[in-house]
């Protein structure tokens, strides 16, 4: 029987992109194809700036789940977080499938199960793996040095300066944003923010991406 390996399941507010400020259940899948998640391997990784903990299944709400178990865990998290449930279905609920890289594990059966449970299913992916099915919302955040396979979707988010729009192949997204990379050096972080602001000022179809959840001290 297939099992999904999940680092954590929790309720918070979506902090980035077009759905910023919306309550959601976040399901963070373990594993990534661009970095092992271990510091000893960071210098050899394709993606070297990630600050997310996605190794193992020991986070809050994490574990190894069958499809039915994972859908139930996500529903339970939504209800425990104060989300409305009626007739066994989550109401006005969004689940964000993230990682690591969720497409190492996510497939159509899980998405169908979440939809049957009342969820609007959003995906956050690095775009290096093909989509296995349709999602309600797809956010792609490409990484420098990785092939961009998913070139169409709802939202493209670039973390700058590791990757700029002019480095990309042709894409078709409903929304484009640049998000400044946060680094330990405050001066470099400030320079990244200034560069991102300058980009959106000179390219008004782009948005400035911010991490609202971090500003609010939320997970």
133 in active site: no
75 in active site: no
- Among 10, 27, 29, 50, the one annotated catalytic: 50
Angle of the 108-116 helix axis to the 67-80 helix axis, nearest 10 = 40
- Among 26, 65, 119, 135, the one annotated catalytic: 26
Residue-wise DSSP of 48-109: -------SSS-STT-EEE-HHHHHHHHHHHHHHTT--EETTEESSEEEEEESS-GGGT--HH
Give yes or no for a cis peptide into 82 (omega within 30° of 0): no
- Among 124, 125, 139, 154, the one annotated catalytic: 124
- Residue whose C-alpha is closest to residue 93's, from 73, 115, 110: 115
51 in active site: yes
47 in active site: yes
32 in active site: yes
Instruction: Please state, in angstroms and rounded to a whole number, the distance separating the CA atoms of residues 10 and 1.
Output: 25
19 in active site: no
At 60, list the tokens.
């809050």
So which residues are the catalytic ones?
Answer: 26, 32, 47, 50-52, 124, 213
């Amino acid at each position: 029987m297939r099992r999904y390996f999940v680092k954590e399941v929790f309720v918070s507010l979506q902090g980035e992109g077009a759905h910023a400020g919306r309550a959601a259940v976040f399901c963070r899948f373990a594993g990534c194809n661009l970095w092992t998640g271990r510091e000893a391997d960071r210098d050899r990784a394709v993606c070297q700036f990630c600050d997310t903990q996605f190794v193992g299944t020991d986070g809050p709400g994490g574990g190894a789940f069958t499809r039915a178990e994972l859908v139930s865990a996500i529903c339970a998290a939504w209800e425990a977080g104060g989300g409305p449930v009626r007739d066994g279905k989550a109401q006005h609920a969004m689940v964000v499938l993230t990682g690591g890289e969720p497409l190492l594990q996510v497939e159509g059966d899980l998405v169908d199960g979440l939809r049957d449970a009342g969820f609007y299913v959003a995906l956050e992916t690095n775009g290096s793996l093909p989509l296995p099915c349709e999602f309600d919302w797809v956010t792609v955040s490409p990484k420098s040095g990785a092939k961009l396979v998913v070139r169409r979707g709802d939202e493209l988010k670039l973390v700058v300066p590791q990757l700029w729009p002019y480095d990309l192949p042709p894409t078709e997204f409903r929304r484009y944003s640049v998000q400044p990379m946060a680094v330990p050096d405050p001066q470099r972080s400030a320079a990244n923010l200034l560069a991102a602001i300058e980009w959106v000022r000179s390219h008004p179809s782009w948005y400035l991406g911010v991490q609202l959840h971090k500003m609010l001290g939320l997970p």
